[in-house]
RNA sequence: UCCGCGAUAGCUCAAUGGCAGAGCAUUCGGCUGUUAACCGAAGGGUUGUAGGUUCGAGCCCUACUCGCGGAGCCA
């Protein structure tokens, strides 16, 4: 049997149809019951008049608990007052399975309670809107790279050693080979892919065992990492700004309704058009000085520093050429000033912080070896990576975009925990 | 790891050291167009845990547990 969804009701005006779903909320007034039906595609008010249904059905419509699964048959009517523009004049209601004492009521709830009930919280209109926008962002990411000749090449999740040598990693036993670690980045593997296929991207979950406890951190998060052979830092920035513009404009075009549910100020998103401002680390430090923010030259930018810098602009800002000491070993140094790394961070507007980190990679074998020793990394673990410089090395660059921070920014959310179906955080790994 | 804040009904929150309260949810009743509907009634409590001060502690003190916000680190 053909299923009919609420989002398609416009095709069925004045027809009698059957919808399946869950009771989102209900109201009553004497001999009329109003049932708000939720079917995953949208919400619809079903009107149950006492005279239009059997006494048993009228009685049932009064007894239904929130989130009971039901089947409603009725005539589709145009109703300008209703959100979505339609209403169902019910002639029959069938109970599929009852729901008693549903814990999430239409009133306010605290964060802890909602996170404990995350498996049910996903049913709310707001959470559904976030998940649909996340999906649209992921689709935009795949479309963007697929349309530009990139090949998807995912990196392994279990890795033999730290990719960057800095972050704390989750560790697990790995048969006779000792320890394995959950990946913190697919980048080194993407570099191997770029040497094979020219333009690649990896897209998957990454893990950090850092004890970070802020609105921008998860222990498990998703990252997309393009890597392109023969791209220098400027090409990398060109790619990043075209990419972000494409993502934001795709969501604006196709998820206007969901952004409205979230009460997102879309004028802020409409401003996200190329070109993005590009400033050097030195210029960023000057902005901090101008705003009387104490800052020691040579340090990495902190969360408040990033907020101050990004608040100077109405679109994402690209900060490039950081002191190489605070950046990863694989980043190429600026030939014009070897104290600087050819790195770029893209800071989202409105205080959402760093959403992209990228760089041109060190392509010289001897310099890369030097870096590995400077960072006291075990050379044997990176022999395969060094091979990429031994056999036809070329300039190349890439970046990583954090999906959850991007979703939080585009949706205008307070915390990344709402951007992923089931968040993993330092003090929570359930449900 | 560090700094700050918090924990009272299923949920969100009140309660000068002196009777444990409200709204929502639940149950019952009312209303023929409700929009987080509304109106009336009822049930619902070991005040996070363990000690201490006091005639008397939800409230003051100590420790612990859990949570929230932030720092560092990062996307």
pLDDT of residue A394: 97
- Could you give the percent of chain A with pLDDT greater than 90? 65
Q: Is the model's pLDDT at A326 over the cut of 90?
A: no
pLDDT confidence band for A189 (50 / 70 / 90): very high
Q: What is the mean pLDDT of residues A55-75?
A: 91
Chain B, protein-covered positions (CB within 7 A) = 1-2, 10-13, 23-27, 30-38, 66-75
Phi-psi region of A67 (alpha: psi -120 to 50; beta: other; left: phi over 0): left
What crossing angle do the helices spanning A281-290 and A303-310 adopt, rounded to 10°? 90
Residue A33, nucleotide of least CA–C1' distance: B34
E strand map for A272-366: 278-280, 317-323, 333-334, 337-348, 353-360
CA distance A330 to A164: 8
Q: How far is CA A275 from the centre of its chain?
A: 23
Between CA A315 and CA A105 the distance in angstroms is: 38
How confident is the model over A399-414, as a mean pLDDT?
Answer: 94
Per-chain mean pLDDT for chain A: 91
Residue A246 phi, psi (nearest 5): -65, -45
Give mean pLDDT, residues A225-235: 97
Q: How far apart are CA A420 and CA A431, in angstroms?
A: 13
Give the side-chain half-sphere CA count within 13 A for A314.
9
Q: β-strands A333-334, A337-348: how paired?
A: antiparallel
Q: Quick count: other Cβ atoms within 10 Å of Cβ A7?
A: 13
Mean pLDDT, rounded, for A106-115: 84
φ, ψ for residue A393 (rounded to 5)?
Answer: -65, 145
> Is there a contact between A369 and A422 (Cβ–Cβ < 8 Å)?
no
CA distances from A265 to A29, A174, A410, A413 (A): 36, 48, 10, 11
Q: Output the pLDDT for position A177.
A: 85
Mean pLDDT lowest among A134-143, A157-166, A366-375, A420-429: A157-166
- Distance between the alpha carbon (CA) of A124 and the C1' atom of B74, Å: 31
Q: pTM of the entire structure?
A: 0.94
Task: Read off the pLDDT of residues A19-33 as tens digits, 9 standing for 90 and up.
Answer: 999 999 988 888 899
Query: What backbone phi and psi angles, to 5 degrees, belong to A18?
Result: -120, 130
Tell me the pLDDT band of A163, cut-offs 50, 70 and 90.
Answer: low
Q: Is the pLDDT assigned to residue A164 strictly greater than 60?
A: no
- Residues 6 or more apart whose Cβ sits within 8 Å of residue A325: A298, A339
CA dihedral A121, A126, A131, A132 (to 10 degrees): 140
pLDDT at A130 over 70: yes
Nucleotide nearest to A113 (CA to C1'): B11
A267 touches strand B (CB under 7 A): no
Name A residues 338-377 whose Cβ lies under 7 Å from strand B. Answer: 353-357
Does the pLDDT at position A148 exceed 90?
A: yes
Position A180 pLDDT exceeds 60: yes
Question: In chain A, which residues from 160 to 199 place their CB closer than 7 Å to nucleic acid strand B?
Answer: 166-167, 185
The reported pLDDT for the residue numbered A292 is 85
Segment A281-310 shows an average pLDDT of: 89
Q: Containing H/E element for A235?
A: helix A233-254
List, in sequence order, every residue forming a beta bridge with A21; answer none if it has no partner: A70
Query: Greatest CA span in chain A, whole angstroms?
Result: 86
Residue numbers 197-256 of A with CB closer than 7 A to any atom of strand B: 208, 210-219, 221, 223
Rg of the Cα trace of chain A? 26
Question: Residue A121 — φ and ψ, nearest 5°?
Answer: -60, -30
Average pLDDT for residues A279-296, to the nearest whole number? Answer: 90
Q: How far apart are CA A38 and CA A19, in angstroms?
A: 10
Sketch out chain A's domains with CATH numbers.
Answer: 6-97 (2.40.50.140), 118-418 (3.30.930.10)
The neighbour count for residue A147, using CB atoms within 10 Å, is 9
pLDDT of res. A30? 83
What's the pLDDT band for A178 if we cut at 50, 70, 90? Answer: confident
| pLDDT at A5 > cutoff 90 | yes
Nearest Cα residue to A310 out of A351, A280, A356: A351
Q: How many Å from the N-terminal Cα to the C-terminal Cα in chain A? A: 35
Q: Which run of H or of E encompasses A18?
A: strand A16-29
Q: Are A239 and A194 in contact (CB under 8 A)?
A: no
- Per-residue pLDDT, averaged over A104-131, amounts to 89
Q: What is the pLDDT of residues A295-306, one digit of tens each?
A: 888 888 888 899
Task: Give residue A166's pLDDT.
Answer: 56
Question: What integer pLDDT is reported at residue A244 of this predicted model?
Answer: 97
pLDDT digits (tens, 9 = 90+) for A240-269: 999 999 999 999 999 999 999 898 999 999
- 10 Å CB burial of residue A365 (0-12, 13-18, 19+) is middle
């Amino acid at each position: 049997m053909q299923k009919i969804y609420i989002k398609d009701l416009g095709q069925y005006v004045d027809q009698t149809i059957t919808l399946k779903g869950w009771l989102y909320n209900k109201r009553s007034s004497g001999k009329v019951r109003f049932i708000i039906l939720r079917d995953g595609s949208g919400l619809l008010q079903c009107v149950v008049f006492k005279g239009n249904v059997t006494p048993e059905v009228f009685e049932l419509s009064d007894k239904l608990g929130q989130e009971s699964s039901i089947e409603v048959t009725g005539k589709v009517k145009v109703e300008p007052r209703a959100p979505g523009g339609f209403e169902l004049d019910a002639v029959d209601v069938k109970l599929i399975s009852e729901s008693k004492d549903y814990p999430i009521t239409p009133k306010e709830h605290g964060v802890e309670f909602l996170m404990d009930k995350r498996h049910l919280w996903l049913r709310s209109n707001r959470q559904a809107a976030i998940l649909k926008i996340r999906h649209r962002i992921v689709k935009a990411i795949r479309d963007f790279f697929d349309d530009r000749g990139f090949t998807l090449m995912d990196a392994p999740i279990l890795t033999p050693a730290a990719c960057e040598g800095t972050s704390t990693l989750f560790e697990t036993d790995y048969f006779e080979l000792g320890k394995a670690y959950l990946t913190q980045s697919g980048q080194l593997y993407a570099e191997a892919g770029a040497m094979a296929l020219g333009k690649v991207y990896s897209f998957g979950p990454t893990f950090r065992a850092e004890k970070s406890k802020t609105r921008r951190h998860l222990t498990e998060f998703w990252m997309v990492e393009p890597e392109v052979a023969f791209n220098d830092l400027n090409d990398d920035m060109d790619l990043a700004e075209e990419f972000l513009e494409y993502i934001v404009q795709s969501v604006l075009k196709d998820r206007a309704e969901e952004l409205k549910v979230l009460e997102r100020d879309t004028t802020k998103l409409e401003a996200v058009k190329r070109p993005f401002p590009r400033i050097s680390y030195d210029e960023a430090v000057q902005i901090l000085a101008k705003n009387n923010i104490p800052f020691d030259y040579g340090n990495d930018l902190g969360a408040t520093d990033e907020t101050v810098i990004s608040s100077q602009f109405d679109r994402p800002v690209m900060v490039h050429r950081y002191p190489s000491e605070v950046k990863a070993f694989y980043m190429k140094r600026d030939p014009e000033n070897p104290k600087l790394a050819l790195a770029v961070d893209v800071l989202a507007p409105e205080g959402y912080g760093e959403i992209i980190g990228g760089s041109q990679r060190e392509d010289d074998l001897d310099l890369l070896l030097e870096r590995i020793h400077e960072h006291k990394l075990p050379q044997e673990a990176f022999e395969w990576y060094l091979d990429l410089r031994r056999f036809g090395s070329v300039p190349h660059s890439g970046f990583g975009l954090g999906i959850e921070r991007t979703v939080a920014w585009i949706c205008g959310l307070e915390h990344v925990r709402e951007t992923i179906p089931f968040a993993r955080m330092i003090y929570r790994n359930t449900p």
